[in-house]
Amino acid sequence: MSGWKLTRTYASSSGEVRWDVLGDPGAEPLVLLHGTPFSSYVWRGIAHALAASYRVHVWDMPGYGSSEMSDGQDVSLGAQGRVFAELLTHWGLDEPLVVAHDFGGATALRAHLLHGARYRALALVDPVALAPWGSPFFRLVTTNAAVFEQLPPALHGALVREYVASASGPGLHPATLDALVAPWLGDTGQPAFYRQIAQADQRDTDEIQVRYGEIDLPVLVCWGTADTWIPVAKAHELAGLVPGARLRLIEGAGHLVQEDAPAELTAALVGFLREHGA
């Protein structure tokens, strides 16, 4: 995927997970979580930048990117939170720094609140965390996934391309868009794309939303002001629900802040991580 390749594997409870690690083995551990319909690829530049100071763990969630995609696979938020807790144990990370985007935010929050995962600090970037969520397109696919799976490949590819492109405010570079769309094409990728949407269930965030007041660790909420997928009003709402949470708005960035404003996001993360690191 355009030079970004995860070289290690873990047999999770929801299928084989591809992962990798960057940086000095002795540096403080940091884990990056991606969202949907993306993969660890969205973190590539920021991961390399942070690897100058941290031991950076990256992974593709089951059903995403280069990880396993298979019929009948559980790729729900419930499964992702469980798998993330498994991975932390596999990696031997007791209290890492964590940065999570979109569905990755819900994954990290579920692992912490429901599975006992501990973090030194948590940065949430345009996370899926508060009801209601899901665009009209998302809801349409959720109730008609079997129909969408039957789309001719060319139409499916065009649909995914338009959908992914809409996550950016100023627009994605064509090569970046190609890399983000590629995992969702072909006989394996096309059904996997609709599978992950069909299994998205707001009950998985409703279950933890009532517990955000229990979070007792440093939290930074970063949000692109031009996010058309999850409105910036949710940033203020979430920051108000998590005790002591800080809010950092990134002007002009859409939902894919990593692509729209990588320098601004990296600066915000570095400041927060340095303050709360070991």
Q: Is the pLDDT of residue 269 over 60?
A: yes
**What is the pLDDT, as a whole number, of residue 1?**
46
* Interval 174-181 mean pLDDT: 97
Q: In what order do the strands lie in the sheet with 15-22?
A: 8-12, 15-22, 54-59, 28-33, 97-101, 121-125, 219-224, 246-250
pTM of the model: 0.96
- DSSP conformation class of 215: -
Element (H, E) at 57: strand 54-59
Q: Is 147 exposed, middle or buried (0-12, 13-18, 19+ CB in 10 A)?
A: exposed
pLDDT band at 2 (very low <50, low <70, confident <90, very high): low
pLDDT digits (tens, 9 = 90+) for 205-225: 999 999 999 999 999 999 999
The alpha carbon of 255 is separated from its chain's Cα centroid by a whole number of angstroms, namely 11
Cβ–Cβ < 8 Å for 212, 131: no
For residues 91 and 177, what is the distance between their CA atoms, to the nearest angstrom? 31
